[in-house]
A and B are shown apart, each in its own frame.
Chain A
Amino acid sequence: MERIPILKMGPVLLVSIQVDMHDQLALTLQDDLTDRIVTTRARGVLIDISSLEVVDSFIGRMLGNIAAMSRVLDAETVVVGMRPAVAITLVELGMSLSGVRTALNVERAMEMLKAATSDGHPTADGQPSAGEDTDARRPD
Chain B
Amino acid sequence: MSPDQPSRIAQFLEQHDKELLLAWVEHQRQSVASRRDLIDEGELREQSQQFLRLLREAAALGGNDVAGPRWEAVRELLRTLSESRARLGFSPSETALFVFSLKAPLFGLLRQYLGTDARVLAEETVNVTGLLDNLGLYTTEVYQKSREAIIASQSQEMLELSTPVVQLWDGILGLPLIGTLDSARTQVVMENLLQRIVDTGARIAVIDITGVPTVDTLVAQHLLKTVAAARLMGADCIISGIRPQIAQTVVHLGLDLTTVVTKATLADAFAVALQRVGLSVVRSAAPR
Contacts and interface: CB of A to CB of B under 8 A. Distances in A.
A104 B198 contact: yes
B229 A84 contact: yes
Contacts of B165: none
B195 interface: yes
Interface of B is mostly: helix
Contact of A102 (B191, B198, B231): B231
B229 A91 contact: yes
A108 B232 contact: no
Contacts of B232: 82, 87, 90-91, 96-97, 102
Interface string A83-96: 11001101110001
B197 interface: yes
Contacts of B195: 84
A104 B202 CA distance: 8
Interface string B222-257: 000100111111110000000000000000000000
B191 A84 contact: yes
Interface in A78-129: 80, 82-84, 87-88, 90-92, 96-97, 102-105, 108
Contacts of A83: 198, 233
B225 A108 contact: no
A61 B1 CA distance: 68
Nearest to A100: B232
Contact of A104 (B201, B225, B228, B229): B201
Contacts of B54: none
Contacts of B23: none
Given A87-B230, A88-B225, A92-B225, A104 B191 contact: no
B264 interface: no
Given A91-B228, A96-B228, A84 B198 contact: yes
Interface in B173-203: 191, 194-195, 197-198, 201-203
Contacts of A92: 225
Contact of B229 (A80, A88, A103): A88
A81 to B, nearest CB: 8
Contact of B234 (A88, A91, A96, A108): A108
A108 B230 CA distance: 15
Nearest to B224: A91
Contact of A82 (B191, B202, B233): B233
Contact of A84 (B202, B203, B231, B233): B233
A102 B228 contact: no
Contacts of B230: 87
Which of A83, A96, A104 has the most chain B CB within a 10 Å cutoff?
A: A104
Contacts of B235: 104
Contacts of B202: 104
Contacts of A108: 201, 203, 234
A23 B201 CA distance: 31
B115 to A, nearest CB: 67
Contacts of A104: 197-198, 201-203, 233-235
B234 A102 contact: yes
Interface of B: 191, 194-195, 197-198, 201-203, 225, 228-235
15 contacts: A82-B234, A84-B194, A84-B195, A84-B198, A84-B229, A84-B233, A91-B232, A92-B225, A96-B228, A97-B232, A102-B232, A103-B234, A104-B202, A104-B233, A104-B234
Interface of A: 80, 82-84, 87-88, 90-92, 96-97, 102-105, 108
Closest 10 CB pairs of A and B: A84-B194, A87-B229, A102-B234, A103-B234, A87-B232, A104-B234, A91-B228, A82-B233, A91-B229, A87-B233
Given A84-B191, A91-B232, 18 more contacts: A83-B198, A84-B229, A84-B233, A87-B194, A87-B230, A88-B229, A91-B228, A97-B232, A102-B231, A102-B232, A102-B233, A103-B234, A104-B202, A104-B203, A104-B234, A105-B201, A108-B203, A108-B234
